[in-house]
Amino acid sequence: MSNAAQRDERADTLTLGAAVLGIPLGGDQLARLLAFLDLLQRWNRAFNLTAIRDPAVMVSHHLLDSLAVAPFLQGETVLDLGTGAGLPGLPLAIAEPSRRFSLLDSNAKKVRFVRQAVLDLNLTNVEPIQSRIESYRPGRKFSTIVARAVASIADLHAQTVPLLESPGRLLVMKGRYPGDELSHPALAGLELVVRPLCVPYLGGERHLIEIRRD
């Protein structure tokens, strides 16, 4: 299959998958999401940013998996904690241009990639930040904090309490149902919702744990 045909196939998969998630993509958004994948694929050859190498699989496992969280964002400011190669923050920022995103990670090479992606994609609503969460002191709070399986739910809740607005949402992305984590005593009494996610073209379980501060 030619490169053009592969790109068309990815565009079709992304458009259809986003529509299933209830997220209509404009032409500029679609182009930026595919350009992000192209950039990630190029950097991946040298810097090993993600274990997934197949561009077709990246559409489901990176783009659609990230976009599945979009309906649960709240407010104007979003912190992506442990963003890695900009996931889910960059796809969400492209899909939600009216919100402001801070993408935090302690890994220098991954933050360099995120900075380059922000420049190449001309994303004016994204701030890449290199820092550990323990030492991150932004002087402000966030409406939504999202984390993609970077730590246990209890640890993430404890780390993000000083950073979350009220009302606010902590969204923790997990694969299988995290029964053991949810039984942690530190989570008792919290307003917590577990949402099964159906990500198009992605096999396997996905769950979103939503902790509300109202």
The counts of H helices and E strands in the chain are 8, 7
- Which among 132, 28, 21, 148 is positioned nearest to 80, based on CA atoms? 148
- What's the Cα-to-Cα distance from 85 to each of 6, 152, 187, rounded to whole Å? 22, 20, 29
Q: Write down the pLDDT at residue 2.
A: 63
Would you state the pLDDT for residue 89? Answer: 98
pLDDT of amino acid 203: 86
Per-residue confidence (pLDDT) for residue 18, from 0 to 100: 97
Could you please state the CATH topology (level 3) that the domain comprising 3-213 is classified under.
Rossmann fold (3.40.50)
For the chain, domain boundaries:
3-213
Walk along the chain (214 residues) and give the pLDDT tens digit of each residue: 667 777 789 999 999 999 999 999 999 999 999 999 999 999 998 888 888 888 889 999 999 999 999 999 999 999 999 999 999 999 999 999 999 999 999 999 999 999 999 999 999 999 999 999 999 999 999 999 999 978 899 999 999 999 999 999 999 999 999 999 999 999 999 999 999 999 999 988 999 999 999 8
Alpha-helical regions (H) of the chain = 3-20, 27-47, 55-58, 65-67, 89-95, 108-120, 153-160, 179-182
pLDDT in tens, 2-19: 677 777 899 999 999 999
What is the pLDDT at residue 155? 95
Report in angstroms the alpha-carbon separations of 4 from 7, 9, 11, 26: 5, 9, 10, 20
